[in-house]
Every structure is written in structure tokens, then in C-alpha cells.
A and B are shown apart, each in its own frame.
Chain A
């Protein structure tokens, strides 16, 4: 329906013959756009010529031959957006349509990996992916990337190697320190992933078994990534009361491993902790000032998304989740856990973060065995549906495993503060998704990037359009060392988005999240139209980007 509105904008499209087969004819000329080139510079008016996947010329190209000309007067041409937290690339392998969730936001490149990663795998870990039998199998990043290459993908991707993934393959899921041999093995695996083109090492230090990794262990692995010019990315150990300590740990890893560090979805979760955002930004800036390369990304929503299991202290998962979840039916265990949740705060206590209010905890995804009606309802509402006590409902849901929730844990002010920091880029913290076969998602899955442009640029004027584009393009390109993307300049990959700034918008909400963003009229991936007049082309022009060494 929304798409029809955009068709009425009636963009004038016309093709002119490509002359007499001159080799200098363009594949496409985008004519008369306001070029917002990915730097923080103001727009300028120009035609942009594309050939063989690259931006080849910028200027007055009106007299030049081109296979196709797109009249872009009144529209903004920007580099394709880079999603610093693109989840995983597995959906792209299983269902190409999932790329639409990114493309329709203007995302042309995503980075995958957050503690977990698609490589390395072993027989046990790959089984847990529940892949269609016999079709896909791999252990290394090199093997996985080759599969993606062979399959063809609609956007470009770059992988990091997850420290949790490495730990699981070498140590398992238990809370154990690696032996010297295990440590050597982990370093070897990281080195191999870096050689295969991984952009760096990632951690997710709130999810077991990632939580079991001590700082020193991470530093050792980060040193390996550093040797290859890699970057360290982290979902930090704490994003609430101990936010500053967690940032300090991240900075320490950067300093001791001599590696640039990037903080995933920077946030100050929990009402009491909201004032920490300003302090966090200062802490990062002061580290930068003394020469530590620290950056961060955010998503533009005040609700985060986590597993409901995270509402219980991570120590209980030390022997693997299955062992622990089996004990959850025991009323005594429930009572002890409830006391711990209600009374202690020396851990990442999400119940406290949402103001001790189960109504602020929205269940968004439940496993197949659980009543689908629970999706889109708060834990409190589900308790009412079940005609049960809210705590027993909570324990029931946790016990089912794989229940995802969106707790309302942040405020608008901290989003604005973060967006104004020059080193903050944008990440969706969402994997590619096909809405037709999904039941629920965090709306960031479909709306993150347009929401920045609609809400924080157009409506609230928190940052300028040019600055927002910079934070979605050249800044993340710098952080990922993608020197040939993230900018509009001759010689660079033609990843481009063309939109009307007045019309671009997210439509996904927490109530109705499975809804594509609108307004991205044309999206080019490596010089080919992936979205043409708002319609997908499934050109599969994306590439697996291997970090150059």
C-alpha cells in the first residue's frame, strides 16, 4: 500500500541508446541528484556515472551516452548504508528474500558476527543450526564464504569471527578457563579466520558461554586479530549499572592488544543508569584523545532485544542451559531465583532495568512448542492469558528456551546524545529476515536506517542529513577498513541509495514489526539495481567481502 504512494511520485525514467557501442558509455547515469557523498559535507548537484560496478565519473554528464538514465532531480543520492550489526548471513544462504529487509532500508553491506559467528563450526555446533539436511556443511570461514559466493547474495557482507564460537568449538559450553593447549588452538582458529578475510574478532559477553571468557583470554585472542590488522567488536559485559566498567574493559582490550575496538549497540540500560550515557561518551572520547581507537554503534529504539533467559543470573547456566532449564520446574528453585532477581543488583538485572515491571517486557518470539498468541504481548499480559501468576509464567517461558523479549530499558535522550557523538555509527542488531515466513521481530530488523532519517533527522532534527549519512556510510567504512565503499567518488564500488528525504520512513512498530521500510526508490549494489522504483530485482549483485591483509 505504501509502495503505491511512491509510484505516484512518477519519476521520469528514460533510456537512451548506448551510442555506437563506445566503451565509455555508462551503464547508468543518475542525473541531477543532490549528492550527499558520505562525508559530512553538504550536498552538491551532480550527475553520477556508473560502469562495471563502479562509480566512474561525477559531474555534468548530460551529453554522455548511457544505457540507462535515472532522473534524480529533487532526490538525495547517498552511498549504500553499512549495517554494523547485521546479525548473521545464514538467512541469506537459506532464503534470498531475507536481503529485502536490509535493502529496503538502504543497507547494501552488513557485518555479521556477535560472539557467535558462522565460522568456525564443528559437528556439534553446526547441528544446532538446524540446517536443511545434507545441503550445507562447513567448518571454516573460507568454506562458508565459498558457499555464499556460489549461492549468490543480494547485499554485500563481511564477517568477523566470534570468540564465543571459537570457545564453543574448542572448550564447549562450560564455565572453564582454557588450558594452554586450548588457548593455542583458539588462537590458531582466530588466525585462520583472519587469513580467510574476517574483519576482526567479536564477543558477546552477556551470553553464556561467552560470559565465561576473562578479559585476559579475550586480549590473547584480540592480539591475534590485531596482528592481521583486525578490529575487536564487543557486546560488552554490562550495559547498565556497570556500563563504564564494561567500557573500561573494552578499552583495556584495545590498549593491551593494540587493536581498534568497537562497542556494539552502545546503551545505558535501566532507568537508574540513563545518565551514564553522557559519561560513557566522555570516557570513549578521552580514550580516543590518548590514542586508543574506540568507536560504537547504536540502534534507534528505546527497547532492546534479548533472550528472556537473560533475566536470570548467567552463573546458573555454567553447566550448559539444558541442565539448568531442567531444574526450573522445581518451586524451590523458582523461589530462590525470584529472590535473587528481586533483591540483588550486582549483575545485569533486566528486571530492575525495566522498573521491576513485567508489563515493560514484551515477548516477541516464542519457540514452536509455545502458544503463538504470546508473541506481541508482555509477560504480564501472558500471565493473564494463562490465568497464572506472573512469576510462574516467567519461569515457564524461560524453561521453553528461545523466548525473545524487547524490554523497555532506554530513553530518547541517550539516543540523541549518542547520535551527536562523531564516532557513533548505526547498527540494526538484526539479521536479514523474510517477513512472509516470520512471526515477530524487533522492528529494528526492518526500520533502523530509515528511522534515523525520518525521526532523528527530519522530524526531531537531532543531527543533519549529511551527518546521519556519514554515520551510516564513511564512518563504518573507516571502522571496517572498507576503503572502496561508503563514499561517492570515482573508482569506488557503486553501492548507492536514491531517495526523497521527505518520504523515507520506517513502518515497523513493536505492535506490527514485520513491515518493510518505505522510500528507498533505487538501491544499487555493486553497480546493479537491487531495488528499482521501489521494487526488488533480485540481482544478487552482493559480494562476500574478504578483509584484505
Chain B
């Protein structure tokens, strides 16, 4: 354990009195008497680059860091950070806030866990390619508390041209898809994504993805993917991503890197990592992000083989209602189905699949329980139970948590130098609410503090400097965000002031919506958004445009 020279209570009291003094002072003194907007004093400044902390004051003016070192002048606001760490703001490499941010720009759950920049868009932008600028404008107009950028999904282009058909595009169709992607790039998307376990994304072949990736490459953008398989087929899936990256000529990013297959724990992750190392060694810029929980969350429909989704939700429901087809699907849960990732097998059975949002008041009573458990109560076959829950949804997508990863593999993945941190969680629609997808998973509130609390302080998997690097400068580098991710003069002043001894995620699977401890101040673009752990209501966030953006 690290010891700090000063009692935290005293420290906090000093902070409070300083802030109070500054506030009262500000009313009677002309602003020009202050040299800076904010001075963060006496903290241990982690530069984000992986260097040991610098003991320095940090001065902020007009949204940016303007001076580091011994600061003689005064700030309108003074923050005493003695004994605390001052980090660049944390960047969420896999955010799901695209739909929620227009409804709740305050993004409390994100800010309170130190996230100042979120990269959304696993499923693409919430609007079609040609409307992306309007989407940005409306976010800017309403105001957002964090910085936000989004990928565009290859699947969006596919659906626009091919609908939900399971087939390859003709050359003419592919050209149309490319044109859509070009529009998205020029409108500021940060890159191209796929989510290849979800139909109709899963219908895209590797050559199709390479052709599309070349378009993103032309704009200097990145390809990121929720890969085709994250279980038994993890290594082949990684190989596909490497191939797309190599042949497409652009960096490739593995979303939520995991080995979701209990028989492969301890082996698959190592092997997949070796494949990425080898690709990097020959100059293919591939990397990965991960969340630090052993359970994943997604729609319960992922338990249904892919072919049954062709044509969209109505078709799916028809198939589930057809006894013959249902029997075949149930059989395939055991035997497997080409092109479908058997998430039940990966989880080690229905007892590890937990219903979290039934999207139907009648089934809400089952939330928080395993499918096996629910089946037992209903005296039904568990597969039928899951299928029925999907079919009975009234308001949206039925969501579940799948316990399919191992702690050992998380630690292995964190130690790869090229991994960064993403939450796979979105903005909650209100403080203390589930994330906007309605998926209750502790990662929505605790992912980033958990990296430090668990994997730095408790297990010593990472050094603090390295953990911060993975949450700041490395994701900024990956996303080509040149003016964030490190604390340096001239950079945008996104910063997190935290107490190393106290930082703690408190969200759990049972209580997923609890905010963490130990994060005292969060600043975005030089404005205080979290003040003593409370959201100030400030909305200083900016839209982050991708490299293809044309003004």
C-alpha cells in the first residue's frame, strides 16, 4: 500500500475551504486579477504517457492545460490535490452512449467513473450516414458533459443497401455501400465497425469487409470489431481482424477482448495475444480494448442461431413460433450452427446466463435470475424458456448477462502492452439508472475505477502508470486524438483527480448502478464537471470528429 503524508479528511477540508474562499473572493475581485481559471495544486501528476508521476501544479486556462510545474500565479478556482493523483481524463474505447446522449447529455455514470471522452458506435451512429452532421449539431446544441465521437458501422451501410438479407452484395451494391461509408467518414465518423455476431452484420464475409475497410483507410480511420467469435473461435476471429487490417491498410481494434469459452480459459487468450504480437511484429497495427469483468452482457437473442434472424425480428418470431423450426434451433444449441457463436456453450450452460431486462412487465419478476433457474420454476426446458423470453419482449431487446470469462485471462489481456480500456457500457438515462440499452452490468458504473482498485492496487497486475496509460494516451493515440490523453501544456484540460487509497468501484452484478468512491474531481475541457464527487451540471463536452471530417 502507498502511504500519503496527509490525512485525507484534512486534505478535503482544505479543498473545501479553498474552494469556498475562491468562490467568495471571486465575487469581489475583478477576474483579470487571476492568472488562471483553475490551478490544481500539489498533486501527483500522471502524464498519461506511462511515466512515473510528476509532483507538480497544473494550471488551466481557456479549456486547456497552460502550465505545469511550480505555479506562482493564482486560479479563480484552486483545487488542492496533495496526496491525490491527477490523471488525464479517461477515455472509454468502447462506449454505448450514441442513443442515450441526446436524452441525457449529463452522462452521470460516465463522468462519475472518470470518463471524459467516450468513443461510441459498436453498432454505428444512431442516425444514417447523411444525417450524422445533424446528430452532432443536436448533441452540441443540447450540450454534453463528456467528449464524444462515434464509429459508423459497416452493417449500417449493408442494411441500407441489402436490408437484412443473408447474401453477398453485387459489385454495384458494394459500390453503394462504399459511398455510404464515405459519406459517414466525411461527416466525421471515427472509423468503421462491425459486430459480427449479430445478424445481419454476421452475413458480411471477410472480402466484403476488406473492401469496405479500404474506404475507411483512405480517410486515415480505424476498423474496430466485435468479432465473429470470442469463444472457441477466438483465435480465428482475431486472425480475420488481422487480415482485414492488413489487407484493408488500416489499424484494427478488437472490441472487448475476451476468451469467452470456459474450456479455453488460460489458453485462448494467450494464443490470441501471440497472434496479435506476431501481426504487430510484421507491421500490422492491431490492438484491443477490454472491460474488466468476467461476465459479458448482450441481448438474449444471441442464444438463437444466426440463420433464424434473417429478414429481421418479425421473421425471427415466426420461426420461433414454428414447432419444426424451433426443434431444429434447439438441436443446434447442442450441435452448433455454422456462422453462429454458441454463447450458451461459452458460458458453460444456462445456469450462467442471467436475465437482466425482460422488456415485459410480466417477466420482470425473473430479472436477476439464471435461465436455468427460471426454467425450473416454470417447469420448462431452459432453451424454450430463453426463446420464449425473447419472443415475449414488448418494449425492446431482452438483455442478459453471460458469465463466460476468467479472471486469469483478464489479467493476461491487461498485461499486453497494446490493450486499452473500454466499458461496453452506455450513458444511463438518469443517475443511478441502467445504461441506455437497459443492460444492468456493473461495468456501466465501475469499469475504470475497477482497473485501478483491483488490477493495480490489489492484484498488482499493472503499475498505476501503465494502467493510466491504457486509459489515456494509448486510446487517444489509437483514435488519433492528438490533443487529449496526456497532461501537457496546450492540451485540452480533461483530467481526473482521484485518491489512490480510496478509489473503489462499488457496482456489482446484484447492484450494478452504484457509483464508485475516490474520484473527487473530473474536469472536461477545463470545466469542473464532478466536484467533490457530485455532478455540477456543466456540459463542456465536445464532439470529436474522425480524420475524414470535412468542414
Contacts and interface: CB of A to CB of B under 8 A. Distances in A.
Nearest to A421: B52
B220 A59 contact: yes
Closest 3 CB pairs of A and B: A40-B50, A39-B49, A229-B70
Nearest to A39: B49
Interface string B464-481: 011001000110011010
Interface string B444-486: 0000000000000000000101100100011001101011001
Interface stretch (A320-328, A484-492, A508-516): A484-492
A39 B489 contact: no
B382 interface: no
Interface string A466-489: 110010001100100101100101
Interface stretch (A15-23, A86-94, A202-210, A290-298): A290-298
Interface in B36-66: 44, 47-55
A490 B480 CA distance: 11
Given A39-B469, A41-B50, A59-B480, A481 B55 contact: no
A216 to B, nearest CB: 23
Interface stretch (B196-204, B233-241, B279-287, B364-372): B279-287
Given A43-B285, A470-B50, 15 more contacts: A37-B477, A38-B49, A39-B47, A39-B48, A39-B469, A40-B50, A40-B465, A41-B50, A293-B55, A466-B417, A474-B51, A481-B69, A483-B489, A489-B486, A490-B483
Given A40-B49, A58-B482, A422-B52, A291 B5 contact: yes
B477 A44 contact: yes
Interface string B277-301: 0001001010100000000000000
Nearest to B70: A229
A295 B54 CA distance: 10
Given A41-B474, A45-B251, A478 B83 contact: no
A60 B55 CA distance: 36
A475 B2 CA distance: 22
A290 B469 contact: no
A181 interface: no
A24 to B, nearest CB: 14
B253 to A, nearest CB: 12
Contact of A41 (B53, B55, B283, B469): B469
Contacts, number: 107
A412 interface: no
A490 B48 contact: no
Contacts of B5: 290-291
A289 interface: yes
B55 to A, nearest CB: 4
A293 B50 CA distance: 16
A221 B42 CA distance: 22
A464 interface: yes
A260 interface: yes
A145 B429 CA distance: 60
25 contacts: A39-B50, A40-B469, A42-B418, A44-B251, A44-B285, A44-B478, A45-B283, A60-B220, A60-B547, A260-B55, A288-B53, A289-B2, A290-B5, A291-B5, A291-B82, A422-B50, A464-B417, A470-B49, A470-B50, A474-B49, A478-B47, A478-B54, A481-B68, A483-B68, A490-B482
A331 interface: no
B287 A288 contact: no
B3 interface: yes
A167 interface: no
A464 B220 CA distance: 27
B52 to A, nearest CB: 5
B396 interface: no
A289 B3 contact: yes
Q: Is the interface of B mostly helix, strand, loop or mixed?
A: loop
A484 B480 CA distance: 19
Contact of A291 (B44, B52, B287, B465): B44
Contacts of B50: 39-41, 422, 467, 470
A34 interface: yes
A423 interface: yes
Contact of A487 (B3, B283, B488): B488
B25 interface: no
Interface residues of B, number: 44
B220 A41 contact: no
A478 B55 contact: no
A367 interface: no
A290 B478 CA distance: 34
A475 B51 contact: yes
Interface residues of A, number: 40
B408 to A, nearest CB: 23
A295 B52 contact: yes
Contacts of B547: 59-60
A355 interface: no
Interface in B140-164: none
A147 B465 CA distance: 41
Contacts of A475: 51-52
Given A39-B486, A422-B465, A481-B69, A293 B54 contact: yes
Contacts of A487: 49, 486, 488
A288 B463 CA distance: 14
B86 to A, nearest CB: 13
Contacts of A474: 47, 49, 51
B54 A41 contact: no
Nearest to B220: A60
A42 B465 CA distance: 15
Nearest to A254: B55
B361 interface: no
Contacts of B4: 290-291
A397 B48 CA distance: 51
Nearest to A255: B5
A475 B83 CA distance: 21
Interface in B476-511: 477-478, 480, 482-483, 486, 488-490
B477 A491 contact: no
